[in-house]
Amino acid sequence: MPKSKAETSEVTTSTVNRYSVIIEEVFKDHYAAGIYEFEFERDELLAKAKKLEIKTPRNIGDLIYSFRYRQALPKFIIDAADDGLEWIIRGVGGAKYQFKQVRLNRIVPRDDLVTIKLPDSTPEIIAAYALSDEQALLAKVRYNRLVDVFLGITAYSLQNHLRTTVKGVGQIEIDEVYVGLDSNGRQYVVPVQAKGGNDKHGVVQTEQDIACCQEKFGALICRPVSAQFMSNGRIAMFELTVQDNEMRVVGEKHYQLVPAKNISREDLENYGVWGG
């Protein structure tokens, strides 16, 4: 039942609450017990906001992005998932989306991995003026060649904040795209997603990255990477893939960027042992 203007006046003051009300009501329009997936269109979000007399989001695409990566879906939607499953929102074409139940999975840094110290090559002026966690993280990855170090290839930044359309998915954005090669001449495309603040990495983003690389760089080997800030300025690097509709971690390393003088002989000896 549509809520009155009085009932929605409180949520109009909060973007998070506005988004939650809109997506929950669209979900309820389609959901029934026993349903594991259904599609809806972007126009339904706008129509629902108008019907509920909620201020229309300036960028309706940010509503979808928010629930994919920044905030939890409303409790009603979370509770509607079967045990061990969660609802995700996929793009399935221009202005079309799909709610689908998948196995609950979050990429978070492991607690039992060692931290590897690397000489910090970030120009001080870049560190001083980076405007967000994401920008700062991408800059550190780029200037310290962390893609090269992590994957063991020579990689070059091709484009950052790539916005493009992928057939069957719709519009996507990749934080930064690298291309590279190894000693055997194999060539790679590396979509990098940077996670700062409260952003979360989900299976949808990895699926989109792989689909984009298959369509735009079909001759290259795709190796999706996620970078994430940890405590004390450490950086977790993940190589990801999708297997059986679930996101899997192929490899994970934790790095600490420090002045070169802070890397001791003991550190180097340990790295030699770990490297075999």
Q: Which residues contact 177 (CB under 8 A, 6 or more apart)?
A: 157, 158, 159, 160, 162, 189, 190, 191, 192
Confidence of residue 64 (pLDDT cuts 50, 70, 90): confident
Mean predicted confidence (pLDDT) in 51-66: 83
Q: So what's the pLDDT on residue 178?
A: 98
Say what the pTM is: 0.79
Confidence of residue 276 (pLDDT cuts 50, 70, 90): low
Q: So what's the pLDDT on residue 199?
A: 67
The answer to whether residue 143 scores a pLDDT higher than 90 is: yes
